[in-house]
Amino acid sequence: MDAPQADQVLGRMDQVLKQLPKARRQARQRILEGQLVDNQEKILSLYEPEVNVIVRKKAGAEVEFGNTLLVAENPQGVILDWELFPESAPADPALLSRSVGRMQRAYRPQLKAVGTDRGFDSRANRIALAQEDIYNGMCPRSPRELQERNRSWKFKRLQRRRAQIEGRSTSSRMSF
């Protein structure tokens, strides 16, 4: 290990050691005394100070820790668009038009199809995609509509692509 690498490792260790007294106080307060710690005071990660609480309201994971990253990939896995939200991110439906707009300005020809999870589905997004003549591969919120949409090979292809990339990150993802 060369000197710059050693300095980096030692710096990380110092960062953790500096936080341990505060982490110990918080553990005592929360676990032994049963008291809440103010969100602004909580140490969420000893290694990443920029971590936030993300309220997801998903089954089995009401909250997660990290930052939200929107990633849009093409079928070959090339990232076409991304947006990092160091604070709380807007709801997924609001992210779609922002991302599509950025890609339409950056790339030509126009986007032909969009595939997303059901979090992006909204009436406004369905209308916007139709107006832009972009195929709607968003997973619908309605189970009945999902069953109907699954008859389309194009929809299934976009959803299969989205499912392949979903496991790589806890970010919001779209495929194109």
Share of the chain above pLDDT 90, in %: 38
pLDDT tens, residue by residue, 72-125: 888 788 888 999 887 777 888 899 999 999 998 888 777 889 998 888 999 999
- Reported as a pLDDT band with limits 50, 70 and 90, residue 176 is low
Mean of pLDDT over the chain: 83
Is the overall model pTM greater than 0.75, yes or no? no
Which pLDDT value is given to residue 167? 45
Q: Which residue has the tokens 């110990």?
A: 24
Q: What mean pLDDT do residues 57-77 have?
A: 76
